[in-house]
Amino acid sequence: MRMESLLKKIAQIVLRKKRNKLQDLCIIGLGNPGEKYSKTRHNAGCDFIDLIASELQAEFKLSKKFDAEIADISYKEHQISLIKPKEFINRSGKTLKLLRKFQVDSNDKLLVLHDDMDLEPGEVKLKIGGGHAGHNGLRDISQQIGSDYVRLRFGIGHPPSNADTNAWVIKKPNPEEKMRLKQSFEKALNSLDPLLQKKWMIAMNALHTNEH
């Protein structure tokens, strides 16, 4: 009986340590890997997470466990991971499923940064849950973990009529779009404090105004 009691105590300590390793927030920047896709419309989420890392002086390191580049930071007592999946964007769910299993205990602690054709360049919106609106990365994530995660959406606009959307999103924005996308990044950075603290309503109020 004494041995059984000891084993139970050891198990409780191990479980407690595992729980302590959970993050308060994981921020995932969607995009396609490789220089070929750098700074393209589809990589807006990945580009913005690089800006967050620069702002917080965080350094990414490759994690084979999550098949992603990860930077861990501490912000006002919040333990946060910045993540860039190494898979192509339409397979983003693989990394998110692993994060949901090992890093966070609920989907509202997952903030996904992504491009959105339903928003014009320069627009940035925060959304909790919802559909994928044809975004293959979001579709794959929702199939893997459900749809009730948080999204930060950066507008890239729709392509000209009859244009192939798949070709459109993997091209770089034109100079005017690039300028407007930069404005949306700046606006999101101005709301970084409530975003990092998961104060979603405060962040929404700041982001959804017309001021830049």
Catalytic residues: 42
3-state secondary structure the chain: CHHHHHHHHHHHHHHHHHHHCCCCEEEEECCCCCHHHCCCHHHHHHHHHHHHHHHCCCCCEEECCCCEEEEEEEECCEEEEEEEECCCHHHCHHHHHHHHHHCCCCHHHEEEEEEECCCCCCCEEEEECCCCCCCHHHHHHHHHHCCCCEEEEEECCCCCCCCCHHHHHCCCCCHHHHHHHHHHHHHHHHCHHHHHCCCHHHHHHHHCCCCC
